[in-house]
Amino acid sequence: MYFRKQELTPDIMVGIIGAGISGLTLAYRLQENNIPYLLLEENDLTGGYIKTEITNNYTLDIGPNSILADEEITNFFKAIGIENELIEANPNSKDRYIFKAGKYQVLPDSPPKLLKSNFFSFKTKISILTEFFKKTEKIENETLAHFITRRFNKEVTDYVLNPFVTGIYAGNPEKLLVKLTFPILNDLENKYGSVLKGMIKSGGSSRRKSFNFKKGMATLPKAIAEKLKNLQVNTKVEKVEYQNGQFRVSALSNGQILSYNFSQLVIATPAYAASVIMENISPEVAKALSHVEYPPMALVHTIYTKENANVQLNGFGGLNPKIENKFAAGSIWTSSVFSNRVSNDQILLTSFVGGGQYSEQYKSDDRQIKENIIQDFQKDLKIKGKPVMQKVHRWEKAIPQYDKNLQAAYSEIEKLQIKSLYFCAGWYKGVSLSDCIKNASQLAKNISTLKDIHS
């Protein structure tokens, strides 16, 4: 696929490198505001990490499996015309299960429920209650594990924080920084003297809904790409130079070297690709970006017939705290969450092997990974019989880690004096799809406002 529909005026337009959800959203928002842009994508398909495999028998998401949406995001779905494609998570799937004391237990979803349940020891319940009165501290570059152990205790870190961080970042809470992941925790402690008091006083956060689409997550990038007038796929940016206020971009497209001049440039690629692009502009930024970690992760889809499996799974999925030494980081019970993923007489589970805490397990070969997952399903979920289909998809570089290396990259970026160069991607200030959409929309607003000032 190669298309470029509009004649563009060079030199006054915004170049965007990378058509994942961030670059696509940015291009769409600029187009809405009549700002000339050109979006360049290396692959023949857009969407980056968002990928769906569809056959007659199943719909498998092999990147992100859902998107959390509030009003801003659902309005975006309407704007790009996919509101009728949405599937909301089944209300029966709201419970999250955590593996503890040899079985999956429901994680209570509010502090009062948590205090009433048997999920935590008495000692931990007291520790949670006394968080209101603990002295506040300001610790530079504090990790999530340190923060939660300091404010609550180690059991909360091990059994709530650890699996929660696995679910979002596939990361290690001993390394991820509070200020980059959940700065709200620092804000609540500083403003109210206690995280819990702050949550109560500020009314907590409104719960967002989890969505997928009838034809899988790839519906989202496809719908945006179809609306764009200036998207060029199969075009890999190889070199960028900055001279006299212009970005000179060289790209390889179907064997041809193409050159462009842009007055503003947005890098919307993963950090490892941004590092190569930045080499001639700032070797310091390029080096810092090359150190951003993306631990590998395998997604494993397992399909059983309901008759064989002989089990009723009602919940979003089961997460495995690292301390429990399980093989996989956890699994989403996909067919309980979203309908139409497999036929009505089947169930689908999506497991995660690897990430920041399970790198050894990732090294197993596909056959071992499949076997270990089946064994754990038999033991822990009482699933009987053999699967009718099982597939391993490996991401050699999966989710960027919001740790001290990323902090160092941000510091180098802040030192850059070039005002017309922007970053907009999952490694830059928000990893989730909804963060990417919101950050790209905000950047488009900023660029549009600047244009108004200059015109």
Ligand X SMILES: Cc1cc2nc3c(=O)[nH]c(=O)nc-3n(C[C@H](O)[C@H](O)[C@H](O)COP(=O)(O)OP(=O)(O)OC[C@H]3O[C@@H](n4cnc5c(N)ncnc54)[C@H](O)[C@@H]3O)c2cc1C
Q: Which residues of 412-435 are buried (b: 16+ CB within 10 A; e: fewer)?
A: bbeeeeeebbbbbbbbbbbbbbbb
Whether the Cβ atoms of residue 401 and residue 412 lie closer than 8 Å to each other: no
Task: Kindly tell me which of 348 and 431 has the beta carbon lying closer to ligand X.
Answer: 431
Task: Kindly tell me which of 148 and 273 has the beta carbon lying closer to ligand X.
Answer: 273
Reference 16, options 41, 33, 52; nearest CA is 41
Residue 340 CB, shortest distance to ligand X, in Å, is: 17
**Does residue 263 bind ligand X (CB under 6 A)?**
no
**Does residue 269 bind ligand X (CB under 6 A)?**
yes
Which x/- pattern over 194-233 shows residues binding ligand X (rule: CB under 6 A)? ----------------------------------------
Distance CA 306, CA 292 (A): 42
Distance CA 6, CA 31 (A): 12
Q: Which of 165, 273, 309, 319 binds ligand X (CB under 6 A)?
A: 273
Helix pair angle (21-32, 219-227), 10° resolution: 30
Q: Which of 41, 189, 293, 380 binds ligand X (CB under 6 A)?
A: 41
Q: Which of 270, 321, 330, 354 binds ligand X (CB under 6 A)?
A: 270
Which x/- pattern over 395-434 shows residues binding ligand X (rule: CB under 6 A)? x--xx-------------------------xx----xxx-
Contacts with ligand X: how many residues (CB under 6 A)?
A: 37
Residue 318 CB, shortest distance to ligand X, in Å, is: 16
**Does residue 185 bind ligand X (CB under 6 A)?**
no
Distance CA 435, CA 221 (A): 15
**Does residue 50 bind ligand X (CB under 6 A)?**
yes
Beta bridge partners of 67: 211
**Does residue 351 bind ligand X (CB under 6 A)?**
no
CB under 8 A, 24+ apart: contacts of 380-383: 380/99, 380/103, 380/104, 380/318, 380/326, 381/104, 381/311, 381/313, 381/318, 382/311, 383/304, 383/309, 383/310, 383/311
**Does residue 120 bind ligand X (CB under 6 A)?**
no
**Does residue 49 bind ligand X (CB under 6 A)?**
yes
**Does residue 64 bind ligand X (CB under 6 A)?**
yes
Whether the Cβ atoms of residue 111 and residue 194 lie closer than 8 Å to each other: no
Q: What residues line the site for ligand X (CB under 6 A)?
A: 17-23, 40-43, 48-50, 63-67, 236-237, 268-270, 273, 277, 297, 299, 395, 398-399, 425-426, 431-433, 436
